[in-house]
Amino acid sequence: MLRLLASTCARGLGGRGGSRRLVSRGRARPVAGLCDPSRRLSRQASDAPRNQPPSPEFVARSVGICSMMRLPVQATPEGLDAAFVGVPLDIGTSNRPGARFGPRRIREESVLLRTTNPSTGAVPFQFLRVADLGDVNVNLYNLQDSCRLIRADYQKIVAAGCVPLTLGGDHTITYPILQAIAEKHGPVGLVHVDAHMDMADKALGEKLYHGTPFRRCVDEGLLDCKRVVQIGIRGSSTTLDTYRYSRSQGFRVVLAEDCWLKSLVPLMGEVRQQMGGRPIYISFDIDGLDPAYAPGTGTPEIAGLTPSQALEIIRGCQGLNVVGCDLVEVSPPYDPSGNTALVAANLLFEMLCVLPKVTVA
């Protein structure tokens, strides 16, 4: 029976059975699993067989290791068009911790995802070779060192021509990721969904935490500031300075109030015009959603976006030159139901569906 399941899974995933490997500070280690198509790939991703999440028609959802969408786990980005990557870091948080557990819980909930997006016609696994690259081995005792480790891993991912889709982790992680992205692509446009602008200069004397990533990106010239839009901003603030600063840099700031009770399709039409054909990055903080839909986060704010508006934003990026994405700030201890992580998993799938190589029927 195990041989039958393994052969069925291998056919569904487009690979062969074997031992799984996970990344640990650049070293790979075997991990037991039911089936594993991962192996060193000598062909280009466009010529390689596609990985497919196993169908629940043939493999029970409770079977297999806990990877994103039950995709194969691969030690390196070699041969991949896109990859899911976990960054289990939360020592940059200013309020409730727990986002270090976000990647694991998102992967658990992703078992409910399937391969096709009937709403948009996207079938991403027909066009992309995708795998789960495991987690960055962050240093939970040193935020600066963690950023160094994140940047180093993402430099390798980006250099391999692989588009990273990141499971966070607090929002600090976007800063070193964008350092790696900009190293290859130059300053990028940004679609940033969040309750907060994350444009503070410092707190408690520290210039690096989850409230400062985009200020640091501006400081280092990582963003094409005329192609930055921040959507869903709301909540009380200690000062209006961050609002003024963002707008002074050329950012478009869309308050949550400007999104209430309406479709965001028209807004995203304007955003597509603003972004043009040059590289963009999508950064989605789950607290951009109202806590009624996503309570499992560290800094919730009332009166936020709805999941349907989140879909409109991400689907509105179809046709743009998306070179990376992240979904951050899922804190599972504050949502035992798992619904927040389930929303996050679905949004990451939607991001996969809008990558440039995916042709929509």
Please check whether residue 355 is in contact with residue 322, taking contact to mean a CB–CB distance below 8 angstroms. yes
Q: At what angle do helices 307-315 and 265-275 cross, to 10 degrees?
A: 30
196 carries a ligand binding annotation = yes
Helices (H) and strands (E) in the chain, counts: 9, 10
Alpha-carbon gap, residue 110 to 347, rounded angstroms: 10
Long-range pairs for 116-124 at CB < 8 Å and ≥24 separation?
Answer: 117/349, 117/350, 117/353, 119/311, 119/315, 120/315, 120/318, 120/353, 120/360, 121/360, 121/361, 122/353, 122/354, 122/358, 122/360, 122/361, 123/358, 123/361, 124/352, 124/353, 124/355, 124/358
Cα Rg of the chain (Å, integer): 19
Q: Is the link from the previous residue into 169 a cis peptide, with omega within 30 of 0?
A: yes
| DSSP element (H, E) containing 135 | strand 130-135
**What is the arrangement of strands in the sheet containing 321-328, beginning at the earlier edge strand?**
130-135, 82-87, 163-168, 321-328, 279-285, 188-193, 223-233, 252-255
192 carries a ligand binding annotation = no
Alpha-carbon gap, residue 329 to 298, rounded angstroms: 7
287 carries a ligand binding annotation = yes
Alpha-carbon gap, residue 206 to 216, rounded angstroms: 12
194 carries a ligand binding annotation = yes
Torsion over CA: 288, 324, 89, 245 (sign): negative
Instruction: Name, in order, each residue with C-beta under 8 angstroms of 304's C-beta and a sequence gap of 6 or more.
Output: 195, 232, 234, 256, 287, 288, 289, 290, 291, 293
Measured in whole angstroms, how far is the alpha carbon of residue 238 from the centre of its chain?
29
What single-letter amino acid sits at 201? Answer: D
Binding site as annotated, residues for Mn(2+): 171, 194, 196, 198, 285, 287
Binding site as annotated, residues: 171, 194, 196, 198, 285, 287
